[in-house]
Amino acid sequence: MKFVSAKLALIIAIAIVGTSLIAQENPAPAPAATARPARTIMIHAKKYEFIPAEITLKKDQTVKLELTSDDVEHSLEVPGLGINSVMKKGVVTEIDVTPTKIGNFKGKCGKFCGFGHGKMHFMVHVVN
């Protein structure tokens, strides 16, 4: 009986060591790293314009947008890129954008800010 117990213990030990060696040879994949912004662009809103009014981004390159208002509350909406962010006076709101398609994407102020509100246009050019 001792011989059977010793054999069983040896088989279990080999199985544990073997499994451990296989795990070391084939480690689990590392989690994907979050894309770090390649650059930062500051965008100001004020009655009745965005400064700058146009920006150019590269496809698949993450950029940090720092948004702020110089007067009243505004918002930046660029539906084609999924951007919709409030811009409060004196507060910097940061958003990361990674465009996945090339083209020209129209934006606007999404919060009524006065009689010139309809003139608040923004353009994002995405290039290769």
Task: Evaluate if residue 18 carries a pLDDT over 90.
Answer: no
Q: Where are the domains of the chain?
A: 39-127
Give 24-36 pLDDT, tens digit per residue: 444 444 444 456 8
Model confidence, pTM:
0.71
Query: Which residues 6+ apart lie within 8 Å of 123 measured at CB?
Result: 53, 54, 55, 104, 105, 106, 107
3-state secondary structure of 89: strand
Task: Write down the architecture of domain 39-127 according to CATH.
Answer: Sandwich (2.60)
> What is the share, in percent, of the chain residues with pLDDT greater than 90?
66
- pLDDT tens figures, 90-115: 999 999 999 999 999 999 999 999 89
